[in-house]
Structure 1
Amino acid sequence: MKKKYWSIIYGSIIIIFFICCFINQSHSSVSTNPHDKQTISSEQFLIEIPYQLWIEENNYCLNLYEPIEGCYIGAYILANKYVDFDIQEFEKKVQKPHSTYMYNLKLGEPFPLDWVLDCTSQMKVPHIIIHPPSHLFPYQEHLLEQTSKEFGEFFIPMFVQLYPNFTDYMGSPSEYKNFFQTASRIFKKNAPNVSIVWSLPVENLYHSFLYDPGDVSMDWIGIHVNISTKEQEKNNNKDILQSIYDFYITYQHRKPLMISQLEIAHYSTKNHSYYINETKTILKEIYDKIKTMYPRIKAIQYMNTYQKEINSLNHTYENFSITEQPEILDTYKNLIASSHYLENIDVQSNGEVYPQWILLDTPIYYLNEKLYVSDYFFAQPYIQTKFNNLVKKPIIIKNQKLYSLESICKDIGYKLKMNQRKNCIYLTFDRS
């Protein structure tokens, strides 16, 4: 009787097992594109792997003063009396020479010749931000001719950042673009020694395309990042880092990138609070990521401002200096000590062809020992620009389209290499 009882139980278990298998298989069957008859019997092997995907741009021409690799470091020191507004005093504190130094100028104001010559005598490259003569009447084209001639007179290497806060000026986006294009053209004619920077505020990143003057009108693309104590209180560091990442993904394939102005407040007179640890953390996040993840960011300039008025009504000031608090200064010194951060400007490589690596913001899937990507791959700005005619047939799993990465590489003439130590996949140009 016992034997019969256990036989019934054993048989029931086998039947239940096969029923479960059948149900699982029916739910895991793959719908396929009618033009692609490939069938996947089960999706249990489909996993998203935490790898970065990089593609080689093998035909990239370096822009004016763009280094082959590495990142220039620069600073603004003209609003910090505790370094005597002096290059040597600043570099004594940070213990490393910087490539560039910054100056603010309104269009039409006298050219700062003494300051430029002081920079040049110390082998520094001036980075001059040109602001409108008036916010109500910003686009005064008649001032461009004389100003550009002054910038070109001594043929000194310089960066010129034109009209950085485009939403602050009266007028439409088209007026801004037209003026920027005109200014760039006049500067290129009268001051070919000047590298033109189009820079955007981080808070305006997601509609910056409205003000984009086009590749012909610029040599570099920048972003300026201001992190106030209000942002520190909100613990918005993740949002700032995400914005820098989005900026990178959007513009990396077009021009060399720079963080044209970085300023992080560690003290406010409003509540007399310090944010030392928060400042150290965000500094480390940004400078480390440039070194390890953002090879196309090729310049970063810190705004070493001692006191900056945040609110004129209640006279609130914030301190953005990296040279005042020992902990912040030590953090900065350690970060820039890396050989990735460059002391001198490359004035010779303009126009030379050097491969560059482009980061693709797309998930990667592993299925039956092969790698796949989704539609996100084809939505990448670089892919849309470089391979806009690429058409692939997908396999479909639960309404998600997947494309063989190996097949894509074959079609575009690339090879696939995986680096498991770095968790990276590289698509390299097939030179065979």
Structure 2
Amino acid sequence: MKTSRTQGQWGRSSISNKLKHAGVMTLVSSMLAVSLVSAPHAARADIVWDHWQLADSLVSKGNKAEAVPHWQYLADHYASIGEWENAALFYGKLDAYFDSIGDYDQAIRYYELENEYWVKAGKDWGAVKLQRADQIRTTVELYMQDSDQTELQARALPTNGKLAKFEPAYGTYLGLYSEQDPKVGNLFTKTESVYGKKHAIYLAYAHWGQPFPSSYVKRAKEAGAALQIAWEPDDGLDPVADNAYLRKWAQDAKAAGIPIFLRFAGEMNGAWVKWHGNPSQYIEKFRMLHDVFAAEAPNIAMVWSPGDVPANDIDPYYPGDAYVDWVGVSLYIEPYENGDPSLPPMIATSNVERLTRLYNTYADRKPLMLAETGVPHYSHSAGEDFTEWAKLNLQRLYEIMPYKYPRLKAITYFNVDQKMDNAKNDYSLSDSAAVQSYYSKLIANPYLLDNVSQAAKPADGIGYVPLDANHQTFAKKTKLVPFVKIPDIYIGKVEYALNGRVIATQTELPYGLELQAGEVPEGSVLQLRVFNKSGKQVASRTFGLSSQVSVQIDGKNEAFEQPPAIINGSTMTPLRAIFEKLGATVEYEAQTRKVTARKGSTTIQLTIDQTTVYLNGKAMQLDEPAQLVNGFTLAPARFVGEAFGGKVTWDGTSRTVTIATGN
């Protein structure tokens, strides 16, 4: 395991070196461009050269702000004539300037343009610029608690509507690599006593040529868990073949009798592994393994799992939808690139955005898992404590990412202190009492599943949806969880204002808010305001939010195609739906717009838009006439509930109409 993880760190080191190399190459390209344009030539007198000279002169005098329009002209000029590298170089000057003065929106715009033109030039040198753009991008999102299981399952389904092998209907499996955890080790049954909850998946490492890891299966069975096996061909792909060794391995896997997520030759897109460099051979071997296990071990789900970097080398290794059950990814963040404090700090990097590209590419047809992930709370190289940063990103990992990415169906945490490895980051959960306690608090959420089974779902049925134009109404009560990311990294406080009035101020993670329906009238406006540690407001966003009236009949919550509504101050409920649930028959005459309902010896008659109703022929007056709303008849709740002898009560806090029939 340690070797594998070290290889992963070498990979990030390689990326770092590659990006530093890109910076050198950018400088070289810049020098070449200057040399080319500054060579003796009649073109010196043209407007392009004038802009170039003016910009250089202003910069030499310390007037970068005045150089901006000249850089803009030059960038646009070179873009218009197809000189992509020069265009990228001048957009690079613009993004660096705006980043330096804290105008992050402009900086992001130019970082993206710089990358666009490096791509057009056939180079990946803009990758580091996109990473910086993500670091300084302000994000304010809200996720709202929802108990509509139909809606939650629909969001978590692939396009074809069919769940993959062992895929939950919604929710996210909890996974853990615990072998180097001093409090758990390989005794998986101890996890619950240490972290307060059993985990669904445990990670084990195996190597091609070695026997099937039966000892890990035994421990997983004891813990009532599944196994993720990272199977690594340490001598490269050539020895991987359909032979007696493979068939025996497959038979042993079948005999294990538990779900196995098989992650063969992961991080294949990184030059730090021996199985990198030949996508066609990799695909051939992966497909062969798929076919063998499909025949020999149906309890194996094939996991194709690149690293999240380098991103441009991921897709060529994809074996194809027919051969992949799950798409995994190794995704780590760290305070310093490769653990090296001499390199630029990485604490502004968020794990949330790191998944976006892979998710957008594959989630429409495959469930995703974070096959390996971690957030260090201590840097041994720098001798710095990052507990606050670790908690911030653990909350994003276990709350925000499952809600933002509903097709993210498993997270396996790499629970290791890498004190002796080159990265020297401490990812261990149990090394820090604060981190261990916070992790335990996060994973108590039922949305994080502790058992692998087909079409599993949270025990309480609750999930979260983005608060947006399609999801802005709740019943009884709700909980809001924000995803807030600012260039300052650390948040001082989050303030909530409802219809212009501040109703809550949060200074601790997760900065959430609980609301009762009675606090939120229809058509309300909720504003979330974000302040940095210095007390300065640095972001805000406004959301539409409404609560709806709920109806409960004899203790059962009822759902209606047309929900209740408040009209002219009266609570109006669906007449036909409730009458029929109370055992009445309902008839409607479209020509006269008359409704007749009967139950036993009781007959109710009313006419749409009239306040007079008749109970067994005796006239009564309604506070508000029955009305047609979206083709459904709504009438005052108390009348609807009491018409056939029920008792009606109203709870203003939860905005709930309760009807008790006595049956």
TM-score when scaled to structure 2?
0.43
AA in 1 matched with 2:188: I
AA in 1 matched with 2:425: E
**CA displacement, residues 18-38 of structure 1 (integer Å, 9 cap, x when unaligned):** xxxxxxxxxxxxxxxxxxxxx
Q: Residue 104 of structure 1 is aligned with which of 205, 214, 218?
A: 205
The structure with the larger Rg is 2
The alpha-carbon deviation at position 138 of structure 1 amounts to 5.8
Structure 2 residue 188 is matched with structure 1 residue 73: no
The alpha-carbon deviation at position 420 of structure 1 amounts to 4.1
How far apart in 1 are the matches of 2:158 and 2:362? 14
Structure 2 residue 384 is matched with structure 1 residue 283: no
Structure 2 residue 545 is matched with structure 1 residue 421: yes
The alpha-carbon deviation at position 76 of structure 1 amounts to 0.4
How far apart in 1 are the matches of 2:222 and 2:246? 27
Work out the percentage of aligned pairs sharing the same amino acid.
Answer: 26
Counterpart in the other structure of 1:124: 225
The alpha-carbon deviation at position 90 of structure 1 amounts to 2.8
Counterpart in the other structure of 1:399: none
Q: Write the mapping of 1:1-400 to structure 2, written as runs, cut at 5 A.
A: 59-135=160-236, 137=238, 139-142=240-243, 143-166=245-268, 167=270, 168-170=273-275, 171-231=277-337, 234-238=345-349, 240-307=351-418, 309-311=420-422, 317-347=424-454
Q: Is the contact between residue 64 and residue 219 of structure 1 (CA under 8 Å) also seen in structure 2?
A: yes
AA in 2 matched with 1:103: A
How far apart in 2 are the matches of 1:239 and 1:282? 7
How far apart in 1 are the matches of 2:216 and 2:403? 34
Considering only aligned residues, what root-mean-square deviation do their CA atoms show, in Å?
Answer: 3.0
SS of match in other structure, 1:421: strand
Q: Is the contact between residue 267 and residue 319 of structure 1 (CA under 8 Å) also seen in structure 2?
A: yes
SS of match in other structure, 1:247: helix
AA in 1 matched with 2:221: T
SS of match in other structure, 2:292: helix
The alpha-carbon deviation at position 67 of structure 1 amounts to 0.6
The alpha-carbon deviation at position 141 of structure 1 amounts to 4.5
How far apart in 2 are the matches of 1:265 and 1:89? 22
Q: Structure 2: which 5+ runs fail to align?
A: 1-139, 143-153, 457-463, 467-542, 547-663
SS of match in other structure, 2:409: strand
AA in 2 matched with 1:288: E
Kindly indicate whether structure 1 or structure 2 has the higher relative contact order, using CA contacts under 8 Å at least 6 residues apart: 1
How far apart in 1 are the matches of 2:313 and 2:265? 16
How far apart in 2 are the matches of 1:294 and 1:324? 29
Cα pair distance change 1:272/1:110, threshold 3 Å = same
**CA displacement, residues 270-313 of structure 1 (integer Å, 9 cap, x when unaligned):** 232221111111111222222321111011010111335432xx
The alpha-carbon deviation at position 58 of structure 1 amounts to 6.7
Greater shift, 269-278 or 238-247, is seen at 238-247
TM-score when scaled to structure 1?
0.64
How far apart in 1 are the matches of 2:280 and 2:237? 16
**CA displacement, residues 77-131 of structure 1 (integer Å, 9 cap, x when unaligned):** 0122243432233321210111011100001211221221221122111111100
How far apart in 1 are the matches of 2:202 and 2:279? 29
The alpha-carbon deviation at position 51 of structure 1 amounts to 9.4
AA in 1 matched with 2:292: I
Q: Is the contact between residue 237 and residue 282 of structure 1 (CA under 8 Å) also seen in structure 2?
A: no
